[in-house]
Amino acid sequence: MDSVESTMQSRQMPVVTGRTMHYKPLNLVRWVVWGLTVLLMAVLPLIFNGGFALTLMSQMGITIIFALSYNMLLGQTGMLSFGHAVYSGLGAFVAVHLLNKVGAGELWFPVSMLPLVGGLAGAFFGVLFGYVTTKKSGTTFAMITMGIGEMVFASSLMFPDFFGGEGGVSTNRMVGEPFLGITFGPARQVYYLIAAWCLVSMIAMYAWTQTPLGRIANAVRDNPERAEFVGYNTQRVRYLVLILSAFFAGIAGSLSCINFEIVSAENVSAVRSGGVLLAVFIGGAGVFFGPVIGAVVFVLFAVALSDLTKAWLLYLGLFFVVMVMFVPGGIASLLMMQVPLLARRQLGKMLPSYAVGAAAGLVLLSAIILTVELVYKVQVDSANGTAMSLLGIGFDAGTVAPWIVAAVLWAVGLVAWRAAGARVRAAWDKLHGEGKA
Amino acid sequence: MTDTTGIKAAAALELTDVRKKFGQTEIIRGVTLSIGKGERHALIGPNGAGKSTTFNLVSGRFAPTSGSVRLNGREIGGLEPFVINRMGLSRSFQITNIFHRLSVFENLRCAVLWALGYRYSFWHRLSALRDAKERADEVLELIGMHHRRDTQAGLLTYAEQRALEIGITIAGGADVILLDEPTAGMSRSESDHAVELIRKVTAGKTLVMVEHDMSVVFGLADRISVLVYGEVIATGTPEAIRNDRKVKEAYLGTTLEEAAEGAH
């Protein structure tokens, strides 16, 4: 036993922020949140039934599963992985080959159950790679996952039969006999398939947090050494959690295979692995629902915003930096802070200050957007002329006027933001002073 | 009590010529100790004598360089901490070592799960495990912290965290308990309270403790071993240790009572 080294290993703190939700049962809130989730999943496509909305929501469903599976590692067990796309991606590749075999009539398999196969494939690769990665914890674990991720990405070009080379493997999801008229041709049918798998996966992953292994994972996150001294092999705990997490990642991957009808090397890339880390951090790793919020926000950025502006990745990066610096617990931690106020019926007293804060934030946001868009127009897109428009207002980036407007917005925004911040803090302190008295 | 012939046959913990080197430096230089079942044994000695290192060797944090460590007759030297724990030895830490972000109750429940046989289960619902809940609540009551049941452990006072530390240590039902400076940093009244707690929770168990507070040592221990520069220079009843010439020399001519005074 290399005990000196393993002791040093366990001293490295996992990169996790925020709090667990377990020490204060908020049962009513929990039921409301779950009820709303189910309701939204069922009803939203009836309200927004356009093709774009369905695409957006389908991708949200997939990303929610992927982000929650990632948070089994990061938030629940304190394992920072840089290679989680390996499991979703390889799950997707296995699924796409199976789907093509079904399409060629070589065997029979229902498309709706494909995610189960993808999940098992993910878990299989979890057993394989996890055996290596989970030998270590902390920074070493993070580095090994990065190495495995690069290795799998590199092999995607070395084994074109399985990975399809640069073009990837394309497929057709409309195979086999339609069941009750369901062909999975229309986007809406695919959405409901994704929604169903998403809900089942969410419930399963939540249930997992309430099992002995789920709780011991929290213990390993908080203090791996102590966990060893109450009888737990922390390496085994990390390994098992990784396999389970890879299973759900595989489900997400095969759903994306059905949704896009193509799987390529991009599915196992470091970009995907980094994306899910971003989504979970933005949403909040410390609360179960954090990654769900993060996934929704992330897809809004990646799909909706990328349609509007070429600078979407810059906005996402800025947003990520702001969140990590000022709200390390993610959006979920901001929401959780309001729950005690809501319970004491004091949230109303905070709303005026929040409104002021939101107004100041909006000014600052418009300053950022105007600046970024002006710079992009001049630096990246000037070949098409410098005329541009935002919110239907046309102007010329080559003139000085819009730059002055941007400068004014910055000045007003920053001053207002500081003032609003002070006001929110004062209102918060006042309420909490009262709460204690 | 000094008659060890009876104790040896039923030794709960037995160290034979245990040595530990870090690089070229030998920190533990041949420790031989035999601690009987149900005995309360204190390990004392000046700073740097190797008391905590001895604990680390016994509990599996470090592997001994040579020598034998036996728990209830079975060799445990060099085994992993979780293996040793499953064999019935549990320890506390000098620096509080708890699950900071879990509630007090969850801390204790984590400490009983393995012992109750739930291992790595992800097919049991925690809230349905009545035996785990009952055992955790029992320990909660024992350490007098039921009013703090749902408090996040990281937010407890220092003395409360020390009590929780002891709670986690005994919750799994191990019959050999190692406590590393359980009253370190406590006020007189807190430390009196801790002694009562230790007496209560280790009833019927074998207790080995490292302690600097001599009033705690003389109040609790059946036998005392004095460790100086990685060697046991004396083992015996509190009375025998009090009058031992070598022990007096080790404490630079002061009596142990004076050393105890100095500690406060």
In this prediction, residues A351-377 reach a mean pLDDT of 92
Q: What is the CA radius of gyration of chain B?
A: 19
* pTM > 0.95: yes or no: no
B122/A211 touch (CB, cutoff 8 Å), yes or no: yes
From B115, which residue of chain A is nearest by alpha-carbon distance? A231
pLDDT band at residue A21, thresholds of 50, 70 and 90?
very low
Give backbone dihedrals phi and psi of A20, rounded to 5 degrees, phi first: -80, 160
Opening angle at CA B73, ends B71 and B79, nearest 5: 45
Give me the pLDDT at residue A255, please: 98
Nearest CA-CA distance, residue B92 and chain A, Å: 9
**CATH numbers and ranges of domains, chain B:** 1-82+206-264 (3.40.50.300)
B101/A20 touch (CB, cutoff 8 Å), yes or no: yes
CATH fold for domain A3-328: ABC transporter involved in vitamin B12 uptake, BtuC (1.10.3470)
Residue B162's identity, in one-letter code, is R
pLDDT band at residue A127, thresholds of 50, 70 and 90?
very high
Calpha distance B58→B22 (Å, rounded): 16
pLDDT band at residue A26, thresholds of 50, 70 and 90?
low
Please choose, from the candidates A281, A212, A200, the residue with its C-alpha nearest in 3D space to the C-alpha of residue A248.
Answer: A200
Give yes or no for a contact between A282 and A317, defined as CB atoms under 8 angstroms apart.
Answer: no
Q: A214 touching B, CB under 8 A?
A: yes
Q: B21 touching A, CB under 8 A?
A: no
Question: Least CB-CB distance to B102: which of A3, A222, A225?
Answer: A222
- CA A190 to chain centroid: 21
Say yes or no to pLDDT of B262 above 60.
no
Backbone CA torsion sign across A408, A413, A415, A416:
positive
Please choose, from the candidates B165, B116, B121, the residue with its C-alpha nearest in 3D space to the C-alpha of residue B143.
Answer: B165
pLDDT band at residue B6, thresholds of 50, 70 and 90?
very low
| Mean residue pLDDT across chain B | 90
| Mean residue pLDDT across chain A | 89
| CB neighbour list of residue A145: distance below 8 Å, 6 or more residues apart | A81, A82, A83, A84, A133, A273
Query: Which residue is listed with tokens 């390994």?
Result: A239
- B234-253, pLDDT tens digit by residue? 999 999 998 888 888 877 55
Q: B110 touching A, CB under 8 A?
A: yes
Q: A237 touching B, CB under 8 A?
A: yes
Q: Domain extents for chain A?
A: 3-328, 344-436
Beta bridge partners of B29: B19
Nearest CA-CA distance, residue A142 and chain B, Å: 22
Give the residue from A206, A230, A233, A241 with the most B CB atoms within 10 Å of its CB, the best one to mutate. A230
Backbone CA torsion sign across A182, A185, A186, A189:
positive
B122/A231 touch (CB, cutoff 8 Å), yes or no: no
Calpha distance B2→B117 (Å, rounded): 39
A226/B98 touch (CB, cutoff 8 Å), yes or no: yes
A212/B126 touch (CB, cutoff 8 Å), yes or no: yes
Nearest CA-CA distance, residue B96 and chain A, Å: 10
Percent of chain B with pLDDT over 70: 91
Q: What is the ipTM of this complex?
A: 0.91
A225/B97 touch (CB, cutoff 8 Å), yes or no: yes
In this prediction, residues A155-179 reach a mean pLDDT of 88
B172/A230 touch (CB, cutoff 8 Å), yes or no: yes
**Per the structure block, which two tokens stand in for A62?**
């997939």
B230 three-class SS: coil
**Per the structure block, which two tokens stand in for A275?**
């994306």
Q: Out of A37-51, A57-71, A253-267, B68-82, which region has the weakest mean confidence (pLDDT)?
A: A37-51
Query: Which residue is listed with tokens 């057993």?
Result: A127
Give backbone dihedrals phi and psi of A211, rounded to 5 degrees, phi first: -110, 165
Give me the pLDDT at residue B138, please: 95
Q: What is the DSSP string of A51-74?
A: HHHHHHHHHHHHHHHHHHHHHHHH
Edge-to-edge strands of the sheet including B11-22? Answer: B25-36, B11-22, B66-71, B74-75
Give me the pLDDT at residue B259, please: 58
Give the residue from A24, A215, A218, A226 with the most B CB atoms within 10 Å of its CB, the best one to mutate. A226
| CB neighbour list of residue B160: distance below 8 Å, 6 or more residues apart | B145, B148
Calpha distance A75→A288 (Å, rounded): 8
